[in-house]
Amino acid sequence: MRLLQRLPDSGDFRLVEYLGNNIPRYAILSHTWGPDGDDVTFKDVVKSRGKSKPGYSKLTFCSQQAAKDGLEFFWVDTCCIDKSNSTELSEAINSMFKWYQKADRCYALLSDVPFGSSTAEFTLETWEPRFQSSRWFKRGWTLQELLAPECVDFFSQDGKRIGDKISLRQIVHDTTHIPAQALQGSSLSQFSVDERMSWAEARETTREEDGAYSLLGIFDIHMPLIYGEGRKKALARLRREIEGPQRVQSFAKPPWTVPFRRDDDFVNRSSLEEVYRICAQPAGRASLVGLGGIGKSQIAIEYTYRVQDQSPAKWVFWVHAGTRARFEDGFRRIAEATKMDGWDDSKVDVLRLVRNWLCDESNGQWTMVVDNADDADVLFDTSQSRSAGSPDQPKDLLSDYLPQSPNGSILITSRSQAVAQKLTGTYSSIIEVEPMGEDDALVLLEKKLGSSVARDKAVELVHALDSMPLALTQAAAFIRQREPRMSVSRYVDEINKNDRSQARLLEKDVGDSRRDGQASNSIIATWHISFEHIRKHVPAAARLLSLMSMFDRQGIPESLLESQYTSDGDSDITFEDDIHTLSSFSLIKTNADGCEFEMHQLVQFSTKKWLELHNELEEWKGAYASLMDVSYPEGGHEDWPVCRALFPHAQAMFYSQPEDAVALEAWASVLFKVAWYAREMGQCSKALELISASLQTRESVLGAEHPDTLRSLNELGLVLGYQGKYNEAEEVHQRALEARNWVLGKEHVDTMTSRVNLALTYSNQGRWKEAEELQLRVVKTEKTVLGEDHPLTLISINNLALTYSNQGRWKEAEELQLQVVKTRKTVLGENHPLTLISINNLAQTYTNQGRWEEAKELQLRVVKTEKTVLGEDHPLTLISINNLAQTYAYQGRWDEAKKLQLQVLKTAKIVLGKDHPYTLTSMSNLAYALDGLGRNSEAAALMDECLALRKQILGHEHPHTLSSAKALHKWSHECEMVDDETQGQVEERSGHEADETPNTAIVTSEATAPYSA
């Protein structure tokens, strides 16, 4: 054995060789190797080189730590073994367990676990996840390095001690699933061979044979190394050495009834490690539970082959439990394969014969896979069972023939968690199989395609197929069958084209020899089996699934589903039973607090296709439209939380338009309300799409002059105005006003609402005199008909005040705004969005009057409240921050103004879009702030961009366009950046606004909820 010793003078290391038992006390290093060439080798130390290698720091660390522990010598595998000498390497590998066992200290250096800059940062929450995910726990050789030494100290990448294997035994156990007794030094011989083998199952080695050679010390075995023989043969030799020649000879060729060949493209999954952990226990039973096509059987197949690799003398059986006949056939194959006494007797009860044989420990160890154990009627129905004696005797269930024998283990695959729990006896033995992670799914896809593929397209396909292994395998097979005309890119385009194209592809059944021959390989057909089973046995749960498929697939609220059940005393129980049924079949999942559900994307799609197949889809579209119409509120600020929660589910209706007239009316009503909320949240493009569909449908179903149709028309005008499309908005509001005058009368609240919105459009167009004239008439009428404190009256007064502000009539504006603020505080409360808007507008008037400190105090309060009530990205919050920035600008606090405007502009581009009038206002104001800081060229460039967009969006004559032109002319005249058209505009008119601030104009959708917009 060679040990390293540090030379005190030079700081170099030298190798000292010891023979026999005369070995001094030493420390030993456990680590993961770096890339080729990084670690210091035997030759490096002999030739006194290697200091420039990254791995040299490991030697330095180990020598310094050993010195702290009073040890002069230490051992590091990379440089204490001459690996070029095959004889020495073989001897070292066979001796390594004992070398680690005899070391005074073992230092496990976790090179991928950082400590942090201070001890305070290295808390349980920060280091435990990094510790458990360390590569050190995944390497083959580090298993014996963990178990052999009496003391193992763990260190972070920078040499800070984390703890030892005794103090950290629970975390190490949770990470490795190695029993605490083994970590505490109990003799390894007290653990079964299979259990010890399972500890290494998920670990990796650079050379495949080392998967067996790294276990030599754990089994106290000495055997020659044959690199090149492969992992399977190496494990077989190890197993023969463990079990001895006599036992191996008696089971040289153990029976094998697995009907599938191994999948060379199998991608390792964490579920497999759990299977090993559970099935390693005596009479262990594990169950893989999940959707059809999720990969349960593929994991089970790989498990059987790995069991065969590791335990050549173990019997491995496969039983299909889909029907009673197939279950009995599986047992008959076991009897035939083992040639047990009576196997060829046609009168024998083969189920009892095999059960008794499995219970006989003298027959040796065995493992069995019970595949497709989905149907409780098959396994637990006494009507299908038989009794051995008289008819009065209790009948044996089919499940009774699966023995709990200490010499055997059973792995079950099932779609039903309820069946799995009955067969395993405990939920802790159930392993839920989820869709693959993105990286694993990409690896599987590439393996099945047989070639590399552009990552972006592969990721698209993985997402489109929800990372479902069966769907990915079938897609790859389909693509390969039809190459070169079919590719991943074209497949993605086809599956995203429309529902019909997606269904056509997902219904394809490309053969797969590793799936049951009687099962469809189509992902849709696979799930339809589950749907049909639920419809037959629990019809109410099938109806619940049908309704859930109409929602957005995530965040499905319990309250809406439960409302569909009757209010009798048993309704809660029925609902919970149905939810349990759907969860048991993995068709839905429940969130952490149990109040919301979600479905896999393809499950939802397949459910809809199943409904379409049974001519029920239209019925459920109508039921969902009615439910959402009743549930989605139409109101003000107090309803926003509900609107926010239901928003994605209401949006989902847009793509599921029903055909029935009554259902269409409900559908259009929901889209109207969702469009209102989308506009409130600043999602103008989505709002325009929704309200356009609502208007078109209402015109078709109800007629062009129906009050509800006119409500959609009014909302369309609001959306267009919010987008800055003022001319289009004017046409729409004029049309709505004329229709409402005719249908409802001039003094109807809806008619007055249209006048309010038309007047506001005039103001937005810069037609302030026209706006003022109309607003004065509106306010007079509203005060008479509705009253001075009516919400619609307050909105009209607010908008009239803004028109005064736009004309520089600050005192008149202030008087009206003070009136609105006072009334709204009383009626709505100080934190209501409309109250905040009124305060913000009043503050802006103070700014325009030069009362900057008063303005600032109000604006700071408004911004703080809006961030809490509305959120930092809400359009109203952005406007308030913008206005605060402008107040800073008036005060000459340009740097503060610039920082706020940068923040607003960045967010506005994302939330509102780069062409929105509010975004352009923020851009203009940022340009003014840059000019105030003396950064004239930057200001001119930004204003030039703003001017071009304002000409395009607002028109050449809009006051804000003229304001930008004037500023650009002033800043850029010397640079000759102004075109002739802009020069002419500036000379012809002197715009009032040189640094405009967007006062917040309030628009309304309907008098029933006048402050909702």
Instruction: Please report which confidence band the pLDDT of residue 506 belongs to, taking 50, 70 and 90 as the band edges.
Output: low
Residue with tokens 């590091």, as numbered in its chain: 76
pLDDT of 141 = 93
CA-CA-CA-CA torsion sign (462, 468, 473, 475): negative
* CA pair distance 912, 876, nearest whole angstrom: 11
When pLDDT is averaged across residues 670-686 and rounded to a whole number, the result is 86
* CA pair distance 668, 204, nearest whole angstrom: 58
According to DSSP, residue 553 is labeled: S
When pLDDT is averaged across residues 466-485 and rounded to a whole number, the result is 78
Is it the case that residue 383 has pLDDT exceeding 70?
Answer: no
Architecture of domain 523-615: Orthogonal Bundle (1.10)
Closest by CA position to 45, among listed 14, 72, 7: 14
For the structural domain made of 270-385+397-432, what CATH number should be given? 3.40.50.300
DSSP string, 680-726: HTT-HHHHHHHHHHHHHHHHHHT-TTSHHHHHHHHHHHHHHHHTT-H
Q: Are strands 152-155 and 161-164 parallel, antiparallel or unpaired?
A: antiparallel
CB 991 within 8 A of CB 985: no
Q: Which amino acid is at 153?
A: D
Provide the CA 335 distance to its chain's centre, in angstroms: 47
Share of the chain above pLDDT 90, in %: 40
pLDDT of 477 = 76
- Range among 322-326, 576-580, 609-613, 815-819 rated most confident: 815-819
CA-CA-CA-CA torsion sign (467, 470, 475, 480): positive
Average pLDDT of the chain? 84
* CA pair distance 619, 612, nearest whole angstrom: 10
Closest by CA position to 833, among listed 783, 801, 868, 803: 868
CB 541 within 8 A of CB 582: yes
Instruction: Please report which confidence band the pLDDT of residue 388 belongs to, taking 50, 70 and 90 as the band edges.
Output: very low
Closest by CA position to 171, among listed 214, 118, 113, 213: 113
CB-count burial class (<10 Å; 0-12, 13-18, 19+) for 372: buried
Is it the case that residue 898 has pLDDT exceeding 60?
Answer: yes
- Range among 218-222, 305-309, 818-822 rated most confident: 818-822
- Range among 125-129, 144-148, 200-204, 435-439 rated most confident: 144-148
| φ, ψ (nearest 5 deg) of residue 30 | -120, 125
Q: How many CB atoms lie within 10 A of CB 914?
A: 13
Q: Are strands 2-6 and 13-17 parallel, antiparallel or unpaired?
A: antiparallel
Topology match between the domains 654-862 and 864-988: yes
Is it the case that residue 589 has pLDDT exceeding 80?
Answer: yes
Alpha helices in 223-262 (DSSP H): 231-243, 245-250
Instruction: Please report which confidence band the pLDDT of residue 202 belongs to, taking 50, 70 and 90 as the band edges.
Output: confident
* Structure tokens given for 479: 């693509």
Residue with tokens 């005192």, as numbered in its chain: 811
* CA pair distance 171, 166, nearest whole angstrom: 10
Position with higher pLDDT, 593 vs 165: 165
Is it the case that residue 9 has pLDDT exceeding 90?
Answer: no
DSSP-derived 3-state class of residue 162: strand
When pLDDT is averaged across residues 620-625 and rounded to a whole number, the result is 94
* Structure tokens given for 512: 């797969």
CB 436 within 8 A of CB 418: no
pLDDT of 503 = 60
pLDDT of 246 = 41
Position with higher pLDDT, 182 vs 978: 182
pLDDT of 137 = 92
- Would the pTM count as exceeding 0.85? no
pLDDT of 671 = 96
Distances (CA, A) of 970 to 895, 901, 949, 996: 21, 21, 19, 16
When pLDDT is averaged across residues 137-166 and rounded to a whole number, the result is 91
pLDDT of 505 = 56
Position with higher pLDDT, 986 vs 934: 934
Closest by CA position to 725, among listed 943, 330, 733: 733
Architecture of domain 654-862: Alpha Horseshoe (1.25)
DSSP-derived 3-state class of residue 985: helix
What residue segments make up the domains of the chain, in order of their start? 2-248, 270-385+397-432, 438-506, 523-615, 654-862, 864-988
Is it the case that residue 655 has pLDDT exceeding 50?
Answer: yes
Instruction: Please report which confidence band the pLDDT of residue 660 belongs to, taking 50, 70 and 90 as the band edges.
Output: very high
pLDDT of 507 = 60
Residues pairing with 15 in the sheet: 4
pLDDT of 502 = 61
Architecture of domain 864-988: Alpha Horseshoe (1.25)
